[in-house]
Amino acid sequence: MSELEFLDLSRNYFSGIIPRDWTDLQYLKVIDFSNNNLSGEIPSSMCSQLPSLQWLRLSNNNLSGNLESSLQTCRNLSALDLTGNNFSGTIPDCIGENLHTLSYLILKANKFTGNIPHQLCDLSSLQVLDLSQNNISGSIPACLGGLKQMATGDGLRSDWMMYFSSPANPMHIDLNVKGVVYEYIDDIIELIKKFDLSSNNLSGEIPEEVKNLMALDSLNLSHNHLTGKIPEGIGSLHKLEALDLSGNHLWGLIPSSMTSMTALSKLNLSFNNFSGPIPSANQFLTFNDPTSFEGNSGLCGPPLPTQCSSVNDPAVKVDEDEEDKYGKLWFYASTSLGFIVGFWVAFGSLVIKRSWRHAYFQFLDNMKDKLCFCFWKISPLLTWLELSDNQLRGELPNSINSPLQFVYLNNNSLVGSIPLWPVLINLSLASNRFSRLIPLNIGSEMSKLSVPGLSRNNMNGSVPPFSSKMKSLVFLDFSRNYLSGNIPRDWMGLKDLTIID
C-alpha cells in the first residue's frame, strides 16, 4: 500500500480522530473522508508527511481546531473542502499565502468569524470560493475582483485533474448552484466558476470590481447586510447563470445593463429596497416567478402585480396596433392547424385501426431487437466504445466478435451479469442496474484489465479475488454497491494497484 495515491473512505460511519502518522503513504494525492463522524483537529503533520497531497475533502464531519497550524504546509493542495464542520475563529491568512495552487476553497457551514482575509486575492487559480453559512463580517474585499481564473476561465485542465479523472474514477464535489446542491464530477468540475459568500454578516457595498469576474457561473451574496446599488458593470457577466442578492439592504433601480446577461436563468433580488420598473427585455422576460422580486415595495411591473405608471416607468411603450396583433394571431392559428391536419393524416389510421396499430408497434419492437443484436457484430476493428449517459437497457452479451479494449457505458439502465470480455483494458459500467454477483473468475478471464469501474450498481455477494497475473490492474472501484465479506488477501499481491474505492 506504500504507493497508494487515492484514498476514499467517504459516506461511512467512521468515528474518532484523523490518524497522525502518514509516513508510509508519501505518494498519496487524494484523501476523501467526507460524510463520516470524525472529530478532533486536522493533524499538522498530515501535509508535511504527504508532500504529494492535492485533494483534501473532509466535509460533513465534526472536525474543529486551529486551521492555521493544520494547513501551513499544504502547499500543493488544489482542492480543500471542509464543509459542515465546527471550525471557528478567523479564516487563516496562510491559505492565501501558502496554498498558491488552490482551485477549490470550500469552507461552507462552519463557525468562522472576522473579516475575509485579503490574502485570498492572491489565489490566481481559484475558481470556486464558497464561504457561505458562517459568521464572517466586514466588507467584501475589492481585490477579489482580480481572481484570474474567475475572470478569464481559460479552461485548461490542471495536471492533477487529468491524472485522476477517468470514466471509471470520477472526481466529485458537492456545490450549491441555483439553490440546489448538485454533485459535480470530473470534466464538469473544471467548468464550474462559483463565488458564494451568502448567509454571513457582510456589510458595505458590492464592489464595482465584481464586473471583472466574467467567467463566473454563479454569484451568491444573499442574506447579508449589504447596502448601496447593484454595480452597473454587473451586466458584463455574460456567462453568469445564477445571481442571488436577496435578503440584503440594496436599493435603487435594477440596472438596465442586466438585460445583457443572456445566460442568466436563476435570479433572486427579493427582500431588498429596490424601486422602479423591473426590466422587460431578454432574459427578464423569462423570470415569471414574483417571489424573485417580492419584498421590494418600490418595484413595479411584471411579474409583480403592481403596475408601473407612465410617471415612474419611462420604459412604458404604446401597445401594438390591432392589425399587427391579428396578423400574429392568424399566423399562429394557421401553423397549428397545419400541424394538426398533417399529424392526423399520418397517424389517424393507427388510432382507428387496432390491427394496424399493433402491427406498427410490433414492427418497431422487432426492429429495436435487431438493432441491438446487430450492434455487437460491428466492425472487427473497433477497440473503443463510449455510450455513457444514455438510456440503454437490457443485458450485455457474454461474448463479442470485436477486439474491444475500452468500454464506457456509465449512467444507463443495463442489467444482468458483468460480461467477461478477455481483451478489455478499461471497463466502466458505473451507475447502471447490475444486481448479480461479481464473477469470481473476473481476474482469470480478464487478465489485461487495468480499470474496472462498477460503482453505483446493486451488486451483492463477496468481493472477488484477483489473480496475480493481472499485472496491469491499477484501480478498483466497487463503491456504492451491497458487497459483503472480507477483502481478499490476493489483493496484497497486486503490485501496481494504486487506487481502491
User: Which residues are 207's β-sheet partners?
Assistant: none
More confident residue, 245 or 180: 245
Domain count, the chain: 4
Q: What integer is the mean pLDDT of 169-181?
A: 49
Report the C-alpha gap between 454 and 416 in whole angstroms: 13
Same-domain status, 194 and 251: yes
Q: What integer is the mean pLDDT of 113-136?
A: 94
Same-domain status, 229 and 337: no
Same-domain status, 225 and 351: no
Q: Cis omega (within 30 of 0) on the bond before 277?
A: no
Same-domain status, 360 and 415: no
Query: 187: which residues sit within 8 A by CB, 6+ positions away?
Result: 165
pLDDT band at 247; cut points 50, 70, 90: very high
Q: Which DSSP string do the residues of 129-184 spell out, in sequence order?
A: EE--SSEEEEPPPGGGGG-HHHHH---PPPHHHHHH-BTTB--EEEEEETTEEEEE
Given a cut of 80, is residue 174 above it in pLDDT? no
pLDDT band at 221; cut points 50, 70, 90: very high
Domain of residue 485, residue span = 376-501
Last residue of a domain, one of 61, 86, 111: 86
Same-domain status, 208 and 331: no
Angle of helix 322-352 relative to helix 354-375, nearest 10 degrees, comes to: 90
- Other residues' Cβ atoms within 10 Å of the Cβ of residue 404: 20
Identity of the residue numbered 348: G
Given a cut of 60, is residue 307 above it in pLDDT? yes
pLDDT for 30 equals 92
Last residue of a domain, one of 86, 107, 140: 86
Report the C-alpha gap between 440 and 135 in whole angstroms: 53
List Cα–Cα distances, 124 to 104, 143, 255, in angstroms: 11, 11, 29
pLDDT for 457 equals 84
pLDDT for 168 equals 40
Q: What is the CATH number of the domain that holds 127?
A: 3.80.10.10
Q: What integer is the mean pLDDT of 439-445?
A: 76
Residue positions counted in the chain: 501
Q: Cis omega (within 30 of 0) on the bond before 207?
A: no
Same-domain status, 9 and 73: yes
pLDDT tens across 147-170, in order?
988 888 654 444 444 344 444 444
Mean pLDDT of all residues belonging to the chain? 80
Residue 96 burial (CB < 10 Å; 0-12/13-18/19+)?
buried
Same-domain status, 155 and 263: yes
pLDDT tens across 137-149, in order?
999 999 999 998 8
- Locate 387 and state its grid cell: 455510450
Q: Which DSSP string do the residues of 419-449 spell out, in sequence order?
A: P--TT-SEEE--SS---SPPPTTHHHH-TT-
* Upper half-sphere CA count for residue 42 (Cβ side, 13 Å): 26
Same-domain status, 360 and 406: no
More confident residue, 458 or 106: 106
**DSSP three-state, residue 37:** strand
Predicted TM-score of the model (pTM): 0.63
Report the C-alpha gap between 47 and 308 in whole angstroms: 60
Give phi and psi for 130, each to the nearest 5: -130, 105
Check the CA dihedral 170-172-176-180 and report its sign: positive
* Upper half-sphere CA count for residue 351 (Cβ side, 13 Å): 6
pLDDT band at 188; cut points 50, 70, 90: very low
Same-domain status, 445 and 468: yes
More confident residue, 431 or 365: 431
Pairing of strands 30-32, 266-268: unpaired
Which residue spans within 381-431 are E strands per DSSP? 384-386, 393-395, 406-408, 413-415, 426-428
Same-domain status, 32 and 174: no
Report the C-alpha gap between 64 and 76 in whole angstroms: 22
Same-domain status, 138 and 173: yes
pLDDT tens across 349-401, in order?
555 555 555 555 555 444 444 434 455 555 566 777 888 888 888 888 877 76
Given a cut of 80, is residue 337 above it in pLDDT? no
Q: What integer is the mean pLDDT of 38-60?
A: 92
pLDDT tens across 453-500, in order?
888 888 888 878 765 566 677 777 888 887 877 777 777 667 667 777
Same-domain status, 305 and 432: no
pLDDT for 353 equals 55
Please say whether the beta carbons of 89 and 112 come within 8 A.
yes
Which is nearest to 421 in space by CA: 442, 435, 451, 440? 442
More confident residue, 257 or 398: 257
